[in-house]
Amino acid sequence: MADPVLLERPAEGVWLVRINRPEARNALNLEVRKLLARHLGDLGEDTTTRAIVLTGNDKSFAAGADIKEMAEAGTIEMLQRGIHRLWRAIAACPKPVIAAVNGYALGGGCELAMTCDIIIAGESAMFGQPEVKIGIIPGGGGTQRLTRVAGKFKAMKYVLTGELFGAREAFEMGLVSEVVPDAGVEKRAVELALLIAALPPLAVQLAKEAVLAGMDAPLTSALALEAKSLQILFSSQDQKEGMRAFIEKRKPKFSGR
Ligand code: CAA
């Protein structure tokens, strides 16, 4: 049987992680979740990896948690599966992660896209948190991340009804970074990953950290963190190189140090 998560290397410094369970619309079973956590963990530590694209196939990014795998589970079994720890591992990846979404991003699939840093969606992609329709609620951040992105009233509408929404609406509510033709989703995501891969990695990493940590903190603490992160970068060779190259009107050569 094919590997349920594939690793591809579309360009130098860029890895593409592909969920590969087309027979189940890329539903996130435990094996897929563990592989995602492991790959994002490994790529997060690999100094040659500068940006990651996370994707599925043309029909589905991911149709949510694997319903068949959890339908008969009890509370203790759900606890022991440790899915919350796997979510944390996925969200903890220090490298920029770009979700390339075609087809369905539902339930855990929508939540997975929301743990990414940039979301590129095909124009016919469909998003949603339909958990309520099967007697549960989102468990991977759907009630929280969607609310932070879209505000209480949009989030409530979708979490309480389970209705799906399209890529345009997702873009308008701030859930999606760009909407592109379906056939161009992966290409655009890799293009953005390459843009990021060419930039000084320490600055990229601290920028990601500052945005994410700041979202959780009061403004004064978040601004202090941003200021400290900026100051730290003045110890990096890439800051010197970037600024000198600008002044000398040449292309910078970043070393990652
Ligand atoms: N879990 C398990 N299997 C799934 C699945 C899922 N989430 N989504 C789709 N599949 C399976 C179907 O059972 C079907 O399998 P069989 O061929 O063996 O019958 C196969 O994938 C194809 O699915 P459909 O025939 O339904 O395909 P479709 O194109 O007509 O519809 C869909 C696609 C709209 C995504 C529909 O499959 C669907 O609604 N899926 C469920 C979506 C959902 O409720 N997600 C939330 C899950 S709960 C969650 O995510 C919360 C959490 O983390 C705790």
Nearest protein CA to atom 3 of ligand 1, as residue: 24
Instruction: Please report the pLDDT score of residue 197 as a whole number.
Output: 98
Quote the Cα angle for 204-188-154, to 5°: 80
Residue 234 has pLDDT above 90, yes or no: yes
Residue 45 CA neighbour count, 13 Å, CB half:
6
Report how far Cα 250 is from the mean position of its chain's Cα atoms.
Answer: 34
Q: Report which protein residue has its CA nearest ligand 1's atom 32.
A: 63
Mean pLDDT over each residue of the chain, to the nearest integer: 97
* 28 Cα to the center of ligand 1, angstroms: 10
Parts of the chain belonging to CATH 3.90.226.10:
5-197
Atom of ligand 1 nearest to the CA of 129: 46
**Residue nearest ligand 1's atom 54 by CA:** 139
- Tell me the mean pLDDT in the region 17-34: 98
**The pLDDT value given to residue 243:** 98
Compute, in angstroms, the gap from residue 107 CA to the centroid of ligand 1: 10
Could you write out the DSSP letters of every residue in 171-236?
Answer: HHTTS-SEEE-GGGHHHHHHHHHHHHHTS-HHHHHHHHHHHHHHHTS-HHHHHHHHHHHHHHHTTS
Question: Which residue type sits at 207?
Answer: A
Ligand 1 centre to CA of 175 (Å) is 22
Share of the chain above pLDDT 70, in %: 100
Give pLDDT tens digits for 157-169.
999 999 999 999 9
d(CA 173, CA 150): 5
Residue whose Cα lies nearest atom 31 of ligand 1: it is 25
Query: Mind listing the pLDDT tens digit for each residue in 54-113?
Result: 999 999 999 999 999 999 999 999 999 999 999 999 999 999 999 999 999 999 999 999
What confidence tens digit (pLDDT) does each residue in 128-163 have? 999 999 999 999 999 999 999 999 999 999 999 999
Predicted pLDDT of residue 166: 98
CATH 3.90.226.10 fits 5-197, yes or no: yes
How many angstroms is it from 59 CA to the middle of ligand 1?
A: 12
pLDDT at 1 over 80: no
Pocket test for ligand 1, best of 60, 67, 163, 165 (most atoms within 8 A of CB): 67
Catalytic positions are 65, 108, 111, 131
> Within 10 Å of residue 255's Cβ, how many Cβ atoms?
12
The class level of CATH for 201-248 reads mainly alpha
Q: Are 128 and 162 in contact (CB under 8 A)?
A: yes
The segment(s) of the chain belonging to CATH 1.10.12.10 are: 201-248
Pocket of ligand 1 (CB under 6 A): 24-25, 27, 63-68, 104, 106-108, 130-131, 134, 136, 138-140
- 66 Cα nearest atom in ligand 1: 1
CA of 201 to the centre of ligand 1 (A): 38
How many residues are there in the chain?
Answer: 257
Q: Burial-class residue 104 by CB neighbours within 10 Å (0-12, 13-18, 19+).
A: buried
Whether the predicted pLDDT of 254 surpasses 80? yes
Q: Which atom of ligand 1 is found nearest the CA of 59?
A: 29
Q: Which amino acid is at 32?
A: V
List Cβ neighbours of 70 (8 Å cut-off, separation of 6 or more): 78
Q: What ligand 1 atom has the least distance to the C-alpha of 107?
A: 50
Distance between CA atoms of residues 34 and 26, nearest Å:
14
For residue 68, how far is its CA from the centre of ligand 1 (angstroms)?
A: 9
pLDDT band at 32 (very low <50, low <70, confident <90, very high): very high
